[in-house]
Amino acid sequence: MSRVGIYGGTFDPIHLGHLHVITQLIEKKIVDQLLVIPAGEPLLRSQAPHASAQQRRTMCQLALSDLPVEIARKVQVNPIEVLRTGPSYAIDTVEAVAQNYPDDSIVVVIGQDAADKLDQWHRIEELRSMVEFVVISRPGYVGNGIDIGALPVAATTIREGLSADLSSSVAAFIRENNLYDN
């Protein structure tokens, strides 16, 4: 039985902090393989993503290509939520992923910030019975998450032009597409 991780997020944009989490999940064998799933229509955010769902999916694919081969071969971008119309609920994604991995255990990877909002998730009790949650500690958040040395990087500061914590291919994509106007 394999441990299949689901690492969902807005990824607006995906940055070095996300890549650090991905690398640590694989290197520390927290998961055996990882599905990076950009959100289609994130529901628990105060504003819509700046980049389109397809642009965020592309940035995730580009970022993974910048990872070392031994990490990248265990990680894939799954477009399930980007391709879904309407709201994306984690439980719908988990149910779909579980069909493709019937003999494996599903691990949902979230940051401490998302863990603080778990009670707001759709059908959360049912979801808790289906998966293991792995909570990653984040700088600035108090909780019981796993400390993997998370980097103090935020997509907000990147969008505002205050940080450049991006892989080279994602930075090039952002420039080429004039995303975030910085």
pLDDT given for residue 45 in this prediction: 62
Nearest Cα neighbor of 13 from 109, 154, 136, 168 is 154
Q: Is the dihedral of CA 143, 147, 153, 156 positive or negative?
A: negative
In order along its 182 residues, the chain shows pLDDT tens digits of 999 999 999 999 999 999 999 999 999 999 999 999 999 877 656 677 899 999 999 999 999 999 999 999 999 999 999 999 888 899 999 999 999 999 999 999 999 989 999 999 999 999 999 999 999 998 888 888 999 999 999 999 999 988 889 999 999 999 999 999 75
Query: Are 100 and 106 in contact, with CB atoms under 8 Å apart?
Result: no
Q: Would you call 121 helix, strand, or coil by DSSP?
A: coil
pLDDT given for residue 139 in this prediction: 85
pLDDT given for residue 88 in this prediction: 82
Domain boundaries defined on the chain: 3-181
Distance CA 43, CA 1 (A): 32
Q: Is the dihedral of CA 182, 170, 115, 89 positive or negative?
A: positive
- Residue 149 tokens read as 């040395």
pLDDT given for residue 174 in this prediction: 95
pLDDT given for residue 14 in this prediction: 97
Structure-token match 């984690």, residue found? 90
Distance CA 160, CA 179 (A): 11
CATH 3.30.300.30, applies to 3-181: no
Peptide bond between residue 42 and the one before it cis (omega within 30 degrees of 0) = no
